[in-house]
Structures are given as structure tokens and as C-alpha cells.
Amino acid sequence: MSAIQHTNSLEGLKALFTGTADHAVVYFAGNADAAGSSWCPDCNAAWPQVKAKAAQLGKDTLFVHCEVGDRPTWKDPKNEFRLDAALQLQRVPTLALFAASSLAHGKLPRPKRVLVEDQCNDAGLLDEFFDM
């Protein structure tokens, strides 16, 4: 797989959607501290399995680890990820799959598949999700 891309803003995420990948997978999680641990326990639990599945992706798939903010920023109803019309993100972690046909620079499409919270830590659901 190509390297994991990281961003912590909606604009940064949109900039990564260039239309050159066949698929894009985005893992939305709470911000991590210097030790790599998130304030979100479900994010911490899911990340090792999600990262292992991401490592199996081909070079034609963009994988993005997107941090949605610290706890107070995420809980704010005006958080940019909550307000985005296509995303309408309500829970973290969220794993979202975007189809190639919908990827265009500067525009965030609706996801094709989504897993949320403890679903992101379910091996069977992850297998289905990553079966592209």
C-alpha cells in the first residue's frame, strides 16, 4: 500500500481527494497525544486492526488517518466534520470508503460504506468493509 496520509482538517482531507486513486478509505478518530494515544477509547481499540487491514491495501487505494479534534473540539456541535453536508460525521471512530468515481479535488462525496465505533474493531465487519 502507499503510505498512510494524515490530516486534521476538512480542507486537508478534501485536498487529498485528487481523483487519482481507485478508492479512498478514511479513518476518522480523536486526536492522539504525543505518545500516540487518543482521548477516544474506541479509537485506540480499533486502530491496530484498521491499520493492519490498511497495510494490505494496494497502491490504487488512498488511506487517510483523519483526526477530528481533541475531545472538546469534537464534542462541539459546530465541529467542521459534523457540519459537512456529505460526511455528517457523528461518531468516532468512523471508517469510510469512497468510490473512485466520486473523488474530485476539493469536494467530499458521500461515503459508499461506513463502519462506526465498535464496528471498526470487529474483524468480520472489517473483512467485509475492505473487500473491494
Q: Which three cell numbers stand for residue 20?
A: 487519482
Active site residues: 40, 43
